[in-house]
């Protein structure tokens, strides 16, 4: 019996892989002329369990893993092969879960971004409101007759009066 490492080092290992797929399930590139192409495998049988040791494995056209054991018999180009009846096929992805998860993730990311923006705006408004309240408290205790304010009004009134007087003379 050839181990997995020895099998992969054989010069015809790629042909054996295609032959195993063809003989076992009538699929693959040799499916139309399997008996002519795979003459070197004289004994072939499908079994429930393989003998102890490291079996070889091949991926078939359906992407399923097929396990087999190949033995070299007496003579040149004379092999015997045993293959498991069952294949190990990968489980197909659930597309509905992938699409639903993607939509939910996008919606959650959008919601988180909106909440962050809302929190920042709320924080800014709160700080501005506190500043406004502090200004109102300060204004509450200020005297109404601010002398600086009245001086500016008086100065402005004098400027207007002097301009009026300049134009009225002519």
Looking at residues 114-120, what average pLDDT do you find?
97
- Three-state DSSP state, 149: helix
pLDDT-derived band at 93, boundaries 50, 70, 90: confident
Shared-domain flag, residues 57 and 126? no
Please state, in angstroms and as integers, the Cα–Cα distance from residue 76 to each residue in 10, 39, 117, following that order. 14, 12, 77
Whether the CB-CB separation of 66 and 26 falls below 8 Å is answered with no
pLDDT at residue 155, as a whole number: 53
Res 12 pLDDT > 50: yes
90 within a domain of the structure (yes/no): no
Q: What is the CATH number of the domain that holds 22?
A: 4.10.1240
Question: What digits encode the pLDDT tens for the residues 15-65?
Answer: 778 888 888 877 777 778 877 778 878 788 888 888 887 888 888 878 888
70 within a domain of the structure (yes/no): yes
Shared-domain flag, residues 112 and 145? yes
Shared-domain flag, residues 77 and 114? no
The range of the structural domain enclosing residue 134 comes to 95-165
């Amino acid at each position: 019996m050839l181990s997995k490492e020895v099998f992969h080092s054989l010069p015809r290992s790629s042909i054996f892989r295609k032959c195993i797929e063809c003989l076992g399930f009538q699929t693959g590139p040799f499916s139309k002329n399997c008996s002519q192409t795979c003459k070197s495998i004289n004994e072939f049988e499908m079994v429930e369990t393989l003998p102890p040791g490291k079996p070889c494995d091949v991926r078939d056209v359906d992407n399923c893993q097929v396990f087999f054991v190949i033995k070299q018999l007496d003579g040149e180009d004379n092999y015997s092969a045993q293959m498991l009846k069952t294949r190990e096929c990968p489980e197909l992805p659930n597309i509905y879960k992938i699409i639903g998860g993607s939509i939910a993730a996008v919606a959650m990311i959008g919601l988180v971004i909106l909440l962050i923006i809302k929190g920042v705006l709320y924080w800014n408004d709160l700080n501005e409101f506190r500043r406004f309240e502090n200004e109102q408290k300060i204004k509450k205790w200020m005297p109404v007759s601010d002398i600086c304010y009245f001086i500016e009004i008086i100065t402005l009134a004098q400027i207007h009066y002097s301009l009026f007087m300049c134009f009225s003379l002519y």
